[in-house]
Amino acid sequence: MENHELQKLTEELSLQLFGIPFKHEAIFNPRLKTTGGRYLLNTHNIEINRKYLDQLGFDEMVGIIKHELCHYHLHLAGKGYRHRDADFRLLLKKVDAPRFCGQLPEKQMKRRSGKIITYECAACGTTYQRKRKLDVSRYVCGKCRGKLRKVEEVRVVQ
């Protein structure tokens, strides 16, 4: 799908769902990393992350476009366009747009594997479990201020 096809789709969805034309630009932005799309307040343009189309499919991208169009039309109408606003939440339900986009499979793979490191106080025996390594020369036990030592490191796959 090219930018001109995305523009046409966005214009069609705007007329079908909102009854108001979309008069600005809708483009794919390859620099978006953590979100499916965004509405730009200054230019009123909509940017979409192409990875969501490639990895999750056309329907997911249509949901993202609907979500961003909710921001667009509410902002231009002078109503609450932020995620926390009641106007925004009502319009999302009305047009059946998702509040959040799905997670990309590449992000899911990164989150699934991890490790849990267990530390123990040499003085009182209190154990601490952490996802990140601690510098045992800098940190001490929170109960007795005794020295910590690494007990075990377990790989976790969910």
Catalytic residue among 68, 106, 152, 153: 68
Q: Can you tell me which residue has the tokens 């959040």? A: 100
CA distance 49 to 29: 6
Helices (H), the chain: 3-13, 50-56, 58-77, 86-95, 105-112
Cβ–Cβ under 8 Å, residues 44 and 75: yes
Q: Check the CA dihedral 82-86-88-89 and report its sign.
A: positive
- Known catalytic residue at 68: yes
Active site residues: 68
